[in-house]
Amino acid sequence: MVSGDVLTNQVSNAGEWQDAVDTVRLGTLTPNVSRASVRMRMPTFDKVVRDPITSAWGRSANAFVGDTLTFKLNYASAADVDAKAIVIRDFLPRGMTYVDGSAQHVVNGNFADGPGCTATPQTPSTGTLNGLQYLEWRLCNAARGATWQATIQAKVGPMPTIQPGWIVANFGKLSGQNSYADAYSLRAMANTNYVAPRLFLDKIAAPSSNLKAGSVVNYTIKVTNLGGATAYNLLVQDTLPVSLTVANAGGSATPIAATYGAVAGNPAAGQGGELQWSPIASLAPGQVETFKYTATIPAGLPAGASLKNLASVSYNSRSDNQGHQVNWSATLADDQTDDAIVYIKGFTIVKKALSTGATIGDTVRWVMTVTVPSGVKGFWPVVEENDLPPGFDYKPNSTVIKGATLDNAHHAANPKDDGIADLRWFFDSIDNSASGTDKTFTVQFDTLVTGVKGNAPSVVYYPNNWTTTPTTNTVRVCWYDKITG
């Protein structure tokens, strides 16, 4: 007898009907049957996986690209029953491949050939089924009390063959036969959780607006591990724009100390370049590493200019850099990349009327004051009067400019009057880069209150001369960031 055999003992008793009333039942039997079966003890089959970090054996382990996992398969015949035609096939999880020659065996007891089965308990064959690689051992006829153990190694392949968050199974199957060639099977499984680091970089500049020459900007880069595994060999790189002045070496980081050095360009001379921070050996899940440095705004930048620098972090899922590598990126949509933009203070303008009220035939004088921040320059400024109040007409030759010069060389009509409500004054470029104080200039002009549309006198705006109507209008100043306009 071997494992899987079933022995059944059946007992029956029967009697004969003697019923003269119903002759149909004469001579029939009334059997009663009872059965009892015994099943021969089955072998046992089990498998576990070793955690690559703790080295503990268990039903599951975490791994990712480049990791090598060790699986252990155990077989044992029943202590007092032989087993027949035993074949063990082990399917590796998706994304793993067998490390050739890694199989090791511990065999006790007798494993012999059987009909159609040549015993190779220490020589596995390999194959694939539905894209999964498998190993197969033929134990064939295993004597009672025999044990067999195999440990194998499998390496996790690259993305996209695997993905973070997947749970894959290493599935083992034992098949055997009883004395009558009836097949049976046993299953065993060990899971692998594909977990990976995921670094998120956030970059902040403070202050980020209304900057002038000499303003100091504090940059903070935070790198957070949002993944489920440790990231290794972090390298933060920061690309600096021209005109932002940053020391060629310095900075600080916490909780792991780090500093940066310029690896390209000359940031200290405002020529732009690249900063690279000293490596961070590892960053555990949930841990945050913070990098800080300062920059100075130089004089001579165009008013309203923007300066953008971009930081990115590279890292690996393994300490030996043989795992999944995430490289620096210039794509803001990527987790490992972010930018920070700072803005130079621009020209500002305020406007006021020197009259608090007016009626038809009155002259209203307006004064616009433009402020040019210290340490900046603006090319070819334009002051635009947007939408004078209805029925207010510009009085020709009433413009008075103080503190700036009109660009009459390029604009014969200065201001440019659309005849209705819009006026534009065109100015020569203004350079306030050498000054430590703000510069102002004013534009003064007069309007005549007619109460009608300038190019269509039949359109009357204020038909009720006994009411007070408030009027509002807007003004703006704009400029170019280069001399070519």
> Does residue 390 sit within a domain?
yes
pTM recorded for the entire structure:
0.83
Q: Which of 346, 455, 323, 331 is nearest to 393 (CA)?
A: 455
> Does residue 485 sit within a domain?
no
Q: Do 304 and 402 share a domain, yes or no? A: no
CATH number at residue 327: 2.60.40.1530
pLDDT tens digits, 66-100:
999 999 999 999 999 999 999 999 999 999 999 99
Judged against a pLDDT cut of 90, whether residue 316 lies above it is answered with yes
Q: Do 213 and 321 share a domain, yes or no? A: yes
Work out how many domains the chain is built from and give that number: 4
Residue finishing a domain among 176, 194, 212: 194
The pLDDT-based confidence of 457 (bands split at 50, 70, 90) is confident
Contacts of 467 (CB under 8 A, 6+ apart): none
pLDDT tens digits, 350-359:
999 998 888 8
What average pLDDT does range 48-55 have in this prediction? 92
Position 376, amino acid: V
For the chain, give the mean pLDDT.
Answer: 92
**C-alpha–C-alpha distance, residues 121 and 104, integer Å:** 11
**C-alpha–C-alpha distance, residues 111 and 145, integer Å:** 11
> Does residue 168 sit within a domain?
yes
Residue finishing a domain among 160, 194, 228: 194
**C-alpha–C-alpha distance, residues 423 and 387, integer Å:** 8
> 273-279 long-range CB contacts below 8 Å, 24 or more apart?
273/239, 273/240, 274/237, 274/238, 274/239, 274/240, 275/237, 275/238, 275/240, 275/246, 275/251, 276/235, 276/236, 276/237, 276/238, 277/235, 277/236, 277/237, 277/238, 277/251, 277/253, 279/233, 279/234, 279/235
CATH number at residue 160: 2.60.40.740
**Range of 331's domain?**
204-343
> Does residue 199 sit within a domain?
no
> Does residue 1 sit within a domain?
no
Q: Do 230 and 140 share a domain, yes or no? A: no
Residue finishing a domain among 310, 343, 376: 343
